[in-house]
Amino acid sequence: MLIDGKGLSKQMDASIIEKVNTLKSDGIDPKLAVILVGHDPASQIYVRNKHRKAKLVGIHSIDKRMPDDTTQEELLAVIHDYNRDASIHGILVQLPLPKQIDESAIIQAILPSKDVDGFSPVNLGRLFANSDEAYPVPCTPRGIMTMLDTYKVPLEGAHAVMVGSSNIVGRPLGAMLLNRNATVTYTHIYTKDMSSITQTADILIVATGVAHLIKGRDIKPGATVIDVGMDRDKAGNLVGDVDFDEAVKVAGKITPVPGGVGPMTITTLMQQTLELAEGKFSQQRQKQSVL
């Protein structure tokens, strides 16, 4: 069975459009700031897709471009301005950043209450600790959880294996699955006997950036396979980290590339921007001061 990320994202878009209109009639204009430093070709495509989707659903988006040689201080100044601007509800900085900029300092400079990408340590910490509060989370993992739930993939007691344990996908998604009582295994390039591990997965998440890394024989018959890859094969075609033609014969459910994870990431970004504009996340309501 194909997990139709593209189709699901379209349904969600329709719902988001309605909610955006409701917000606007209440006098709130949801606004997302997207900062792109440099000219990485993949980043330019991702940013373009984010703005297109924002336009579709009625969210105003700021398309902030900065040159390759932007300094850390210059980028921080822009973030500080957006933090202060009450009309901006979500701020994201497209990664990766050029080498002269410390990514971690940039991520931590974004107000946690505008952290639409969910990468700020305080929000990642809430996710990691399964906090009862509402807080923004990374969008690719959240979109994947939406697909798993929509397709009624059982999570409690299931064995979920992360192939690739990045901060952007593998780690937060593993935490989300653990929070739903899955047994979670994190693997990476140092893992030994990868195939023997992937073959025990009821839910196999593949996010490595290696085209067709996972073959049919690596998959447990009937497993749910989520392919997060967006790679180019030798002919220049867009393919995933999973050999789809082999995997589709073994897996119970599988996301195609394209048309699976990608569209759900973008739509989830819009969903989360909307929620920030609606004020749904605790820290926006908290007047807690520690001094």
Q: Among all residues, which ones are annotated catalytic? A: 50, 94, 117
Can you say which residues are annotated as belonging to the binding site for NADP(+)? 164-166, 189
Report in angstroms how near the CB of residue 31 gets to its own copies at its nearest: 18
**Do β-strands 231-232 and 224-227 pair in parallel, antiparallel, or remain unpaired?**
unpaired
Q: If DSSP codes are grouped into helix, strand and coil, which group holds residue 217?
A: helix
Report in angstroms how near the CB of residue 187 gets to its own copies at its nearest: 5
For 185, the token pair is 């295994």
Residue 124 interacts with its own copies (CB under 8 A)? yes
Each residue 90-109 as x (binds its own copies by CB under 8 A) or -, in order, gives --------------xx--xx
Report in angstroms how near the CB of residue 133 gets to its own copies at its nearest: 7
Residue 87 interacts with its own copies (CB under 8 A)? no
Residue 121 interacts with its own copies (CB under 8 A)? yes
Residues 197-216 that bind its own copies (CB under 8 A): 197
Residue 285 interacts with its own copies (CB under 8 A)? no
Report in angstroms how near the CB of residue 84 gets to its own copies at its nearest: 6
With CB under 8 A as the rule, give the number of residues binding its own copies.
48
**Which residues lie below 8 Å from residue 195, measured CB to CB, with a gap of 6+?**
217, 218
For its own copies, the closer of residues 151 and 186 by Cβ is 186
What is the H or E stretch that residue 82 is in? helix 72-84
Each residue 44-83 as x (binds its own copies by CB under 8 A) or -, in order, gives ------------------------------------x--x
Task: Determine if the peptide bond prior to 221 is cis (ω within 30°).
Answer: no
Q: Using an 8 Å Cβ cutoff, are 189 and 170 in contact?
A: no
Starting from the edge strand earliest in sequence, which strands make up the sheet with 90-93, in order? 60-66, 31-37, 90-93
Beta bridge partners of 161: 185, 204
Q: Using an 8 Å Cβ cutoff, are 114 and 80 in contact?
A: no
For its own copies, the closer of residues 7 and 222 by Cβ is 222
Residue 126 interacts with its own copies (CB under 8 A)? yes
How many CA atoms does the CB half-sphere of 196 hold within 13 Å?
A: 3
Cα 179 to Cα 210: distance, rounded to the nearest angstrom: 28
Q: How many of the other CB atoms lie within 10 Å of CB of 21?
A: 12
Can you say which residues are annotated as belonging to the binding site? 164-166, 189
Burial class (CB in 10 A: 0-12, 13-18, 19+), 125: exposed
Binding test (CB under 8 A) with its own copies, winner from 26, 73, 132, 245: 132
Residue 159 interacts with its own copies (CB under 8 A)? yes
For its own copies, the closer of residues 94 and 165 by Cβ is 165
Binding test (CB under 8 A) with its own copies, winner from 187, 267, 268, 273: 187
Give DSSP secondary structure letters for 58-81.
Answer: T-EEEEEEE-TT--HHHHHHHHHH
Site residues for its own copies per CB under 8 A: 80, 83-84, 104-105, 108-111, 119-133, 156-157, 159, 165, 167, 171, 174-175, 178, 181-188, 190-192, 197, 288, 290-291
